[in-house]
Amino acid sequence: MVRSAGVKVRATADEAALAVFTVDKGVLLELAEPANGAAWIKVRHRDGLAGYVKNTEVWGCQRPRDMQQCCHRPSPPHHHHV
């Protein structure tokens, strides 16, 4: 789940990478790959958009199958480029 408003989900695991989409606080993102303590985590929104967020920008479930059980239903992402 996203910790704050306006989190940028980036095309690559790099602060300078293009923002694919932004999400608001409380939006649920699924892990697209195991996090394994990495600084950047590959995530996927339920609409199919995917990208990378810093591990400090999200909290909650660690495995995709846990997502349905521990978090509320997400709002749609903002589909605008930064």
Please give the model's pTM, rounded to 2 decimal places.
0.72
The three-state DSSP-derived secondary structure of 18-75 is CEEEEECCCCCCEECCCCCCCCEEEEECCCCCEEEEEHHHECCCCCHHHHHHHCCCCC
CA distance 30 to 45: 6
What is the band of 74 on the pLDDT scale with cuts at 50, 70, 90?
very low
Q: Could you give all domains of the chain from N- to C-terminal order, each with its CATH number?
A: 7-61 (2.30.30.40)
pLDDT in tens, 11-67: 999 999 999 999 999 999 999 988 888 899 999 999 999 999 999 999 875 544 444
Q: How much is the pLDDT for 77?
A: 53
